[in-house]
Amino acid sequence: MNPHALLIALQMCVVSWNAQSYDEAYHQSLDSGKPLLVLVGADWCGACQVMKKKVMPQLQRDGALKDIHCTEINLVEDEELANRISKVSTIPCLILFTKSEEKWQKRELIGMHSQKTVKAFLAKHTAPVVASRADKKVTASLPR
């Protein structure tokens, strides 16, 4: 193998995170009742690429995503799906669906954020405590 190709392949391994397809993550979340985390972004968006290639992989390495089904949606390629999930007008956007009692709730974290901020957002909303009123919280069905 060409040394340059090997270097590129190794870099891709370092920056990738194990995002599932939306359908796979959706069905696993429905079956397990575990949270569903959706990263909505675009290839042309620098902040989205930072979230995708730096923040999310670090959260995965730290174990912050171990009990969460994760997926990503490209707003340009999957605009219809992104709009079904949420009326996304700013990217990047993290959308977290959690199940409490028999209802799914949706919370959003809009814009580029540090690993620390995303970790706190996930911990707050995946813990079995009531979220504060300051958060954008919507009772919703898990979108298909």
Domain boundaries, given as residue ranges, for the chain: 17-140
Helix (H) or strand (E) holding 10: helix 3-15
Residue of higher predicted confidence among 133 and 65: 65
pLDDT tens for 52-94 read 999 999 999 999 999 999 999 999 999 899 889 888 889 999 9
What predicted TM-score, i.e. pTM, was given to this entire model?
A: 0.77
Per-residue exposure over 104-134, b if at least 16 CB sit within 10 Å of its own CB, e if not: bbbbbbbebbebeebbebbeebbeeeeeeee
Residue of higher predicted confidence among 129 and 16: 16
Check whether 133 has a pLDDT greater than 50: no
pLDDT tens for 96-131 read 999 887 788 999 999 999 999 999 999 999 886 333
CATH homologous superfamily, domain 17-140: Glutaredoxin (3.40.30.10)
User: What's the Cα-to-Cα distance from 88 to each of 25, 30, 31, 40, 99, rounded to whole Å?
Assistant: 19, 23, 26, 8, 21
Per-residue exposure over 10-22, b if at least 16 CB sit within 10 Å of its own CB, e if not: eeeeeeebebbeb
Check whether 13 has a pLDDT greater than 70: no
d(CA 91, CA 48): 7
